[in-house]
């Protein structure tokens, strides 16, 4: 970095040097110098002007998860920066590589409770992989370069950078470009002895099962996962964060596990005598009661973050390493050991998997069942099309029924469960993949939390297909109140007076309302083929439930609903 450059320019030039050509942000007094420099570098970097800072973070997440690159978001000081917090926390829970810049008062005023001063270092400490406060403009390049390294390497995650205003306008006098990070050295190569032991355990198992989590996507290991599954014939289940890492139309795919997982996927989890878990942190949403989870099975836990191994579920064999390299090593080891396929187990799971595909039948109703929307979109999905979701029942319907064929095509808020995530995440995904169709599945409650981003979509001429599962309720909470609280509906009815088509038109976008199943196919096609974003507002059955499910804190054996003959009766 040459001398006599001011801090704001140094930030922009470092972002460009790291390969970033787009950011998501909202300006304010403390970051005026930084945004001013975008005018001078408009041929190299662009900012997507969102309408709320939280959405800047979610859009950056969507960009990162669709592209595999670092997503960058920017907000001003005080409430601007704190509005980023939900998105930073969401990225932390889902291991998304994100760099969030927040403006700060000048360094001389830090500690004075100056206007919009906020201790963002303290606030973000527990929800970031690391955070920095730049107090010397000469350290700008060094700190931002380290932030990229930390965000991407090892287990990905968010980094927060505090930007005092005076740092942005001071000159660089002696640029420091030190990028070495003391004590940071993730283990990416798996231990060969552990690989050999893992292969031995797989050889001895009679009913092995692969559980693939988000770490498979983060390490771009889908090809290696497919190689392992096809070489061994071992069935594959995924977490929601791992959804799309393995082609869900593949005969070895059993779908997603957990509270709202597929019956066959949870059944396989109960039956297996050896689980090979890859890049998975064993959230309570997939394990249910930890005391009885995998009570009769052994566990090989593969993860690049050693802190995750044994945290929630005791591992019989830990393997620390990058998922892609570990899977490749496993295939080699199994080939050398003369692997023999577990034919009876594989064929049994394949047969039950096909039965599971047909076991939920819909009864004709006055309105549309959520499954019908997902089924219709499944028919229209092309390779590479991306689905983002909000949070709620529609998210679980999407997770359960969508068949995604390519990695990085299902983007949802997993660990945090952030309502309103879907629309801004779709913006980021579309910016990352402009030639791919991007659908946003949302509920009427979730959609309203970030609805103002329709203007971001319009002003940046982004073409998205938002589909609202409109049941006039906060559906998932209503479902829990119905099933576990004697149907005492408190504060969950949203009313049915909202006209989402008029709202879309107010933003100079289009919209269409769907009230009959027969109208659904044409409406979705119209939105896909439209020149600009067309909101599809689908009036669905108000009290439809996403089933089967586990009771909160229950055992997998207690799964109930629809295709389950009785609680725990899988076959």
State the catalytic residues. Answer: 53, 115-116, 165, 476
Cα separation, 553 vs 303, in Å, equals 25
- Tokens (6 digits) for 187: 């283990």
Beta bridge partners of 536: 467, 512
495-505: b (≥16 Cβ within 10 Å) or e: eeebebbebbe
Instruction: Give the residue among 67, 74, 82 at the shortest CA–CA distance from 100.
Output: 74
CB 197 within 8 A of CB 263: no
Q: What's the gap between Cα 312 and its chain centre?
A: 21
| Cβ-Cβ contacts under 8 Å for 76 (sequence gap 6 or more) | 26, 27, 28, 29, 30, 31, 102, 103, 116
- Tokens (6 digits) for 465: 């297909």
DSSP class of residue 548?
S
| Cβ-Cβ contacts under 8 Å for 72 (sequence gap 6 or more) | 15, 20, 22, 23, 24, 60, 98, 99, 100, 101
The DSSP-derived string for 325-368 is HHHHHHHHHHHHTT----HHHHHHHHHHHHHHHTS-PPPP-SSB
Cα separation, 388 vs 66, in Å, equals 10
| Cβ-Cβ contacts under 8 Å for 43 (sequence gap 6 or more) | none
């Amino acid at each position: 970095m040459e001398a006599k450059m001011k801090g704001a320019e140094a930030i922009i030039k470092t972002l460009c040097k790291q390969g970033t050509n787009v950011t998501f942000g909202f300006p304010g007094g403390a970051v005026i110098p930084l945004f001013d420099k975008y005018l001078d570098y408009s041929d190299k970097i662009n900012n997507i002007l969102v309408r709320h800072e939280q959405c800047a973070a979610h859009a950056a997440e969507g960009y990162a998860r669709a592209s595999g690159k670092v997503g960058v978001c920017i907000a001003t000081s005080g409430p601007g920066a704190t509005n980023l917090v939900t998105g930073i926390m969401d990225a932390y829970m889902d291991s998304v590589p994100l760099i969030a810049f927040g403006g700060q008062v000048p360094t001389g005023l830090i500690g004075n409770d100056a206007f919009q001063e906020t201790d963002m270092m303290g606030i973000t400490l527990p929800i970031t992989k690391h955070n920095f406060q730049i107090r010397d403009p000469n350290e700008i390049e060094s700190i931002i370069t380290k932030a990229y390294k930390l965000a991407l390497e090892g287990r990905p995650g968010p980094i927060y950078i505090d930007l005092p205003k005076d740092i942005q306008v001071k000159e660089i006098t002696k640029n420091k470009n030190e990028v070495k990070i003391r004590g940071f050295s993730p283990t990416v190569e798996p231990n060969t002895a552990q690989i050999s032991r893992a292969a031995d355990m797989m050889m001895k198992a009679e009913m092995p099962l692969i559980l693939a989590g988000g770490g498979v996507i983060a390490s771009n290991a889908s090809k290696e996962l497919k190689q392992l599954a096809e070489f061994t014939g071992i069935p594959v289940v995924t977490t929601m964060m791992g959804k799309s890492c393995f082609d869900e139309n593949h005969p070895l795919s059993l779908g997603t596990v957990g509270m709202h997982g597929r019956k066959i996927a949870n059944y396989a989890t109960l039956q297996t005598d050896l689980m090979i878990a890859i890049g998975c942190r064993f959230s309570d949403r997939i394990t249910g009661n930890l005391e009885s989870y995998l009570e009769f099975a052994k566990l090989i836990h593969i993860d690049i973050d050693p802190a995750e191994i044994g945290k929630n579920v005791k591992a019989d064999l830990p393997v620390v390493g990058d998922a892609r390299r570990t899977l490749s090593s496993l295939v080699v080891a199994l080939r050398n050991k003369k692997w023999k396929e577990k034919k009876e187990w594989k064929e049994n799971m394949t047969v039950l998997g096909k039965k599971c595909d047909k076991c939920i039948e819909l009864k004709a109703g006055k309105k549309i069942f959520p499954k019908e929307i997902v089924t219709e979109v499944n028919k229209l999905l092309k390779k590479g099309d991306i689905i983002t979701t909000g949070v709620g029942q529609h998210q679980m319907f999407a997770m359960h029924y969508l068949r995604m064929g390519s990695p990085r095509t299902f983007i949802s808020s997993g660990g945090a469960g952030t309502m309103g995530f879907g629309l801004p995440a779709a913006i980021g995904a579309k910016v990352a993949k402009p030639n791919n169709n991007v659908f946003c599945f949302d509920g009427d409650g979730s959609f309203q939390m970030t609805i103002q981003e329709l203007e971001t979509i319009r002003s940046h001429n982004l073409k998205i297909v938002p589909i609202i599962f409109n049941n006039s309720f906060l559906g998932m909470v209503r479902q829990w109140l119905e099933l576990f609280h004697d149907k005492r509906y408190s504060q969950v009815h949203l009313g049915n007076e909202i006209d989402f088509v008029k709202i879309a038109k107010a933003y100079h976008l289009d919209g269409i309302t769907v009230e009959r199943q027969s109208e659904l196919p044409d409406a979705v096609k119209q939105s896909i083929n439209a020149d600009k974003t067309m909101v599809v507002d689908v009036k669905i059955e108000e009290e439809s439930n996403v089933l089967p499910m586990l009771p909160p804190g229950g055992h997998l054996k207690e799964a109930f609903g629809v295709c389950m003959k009785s609680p725990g009766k899988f076959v």
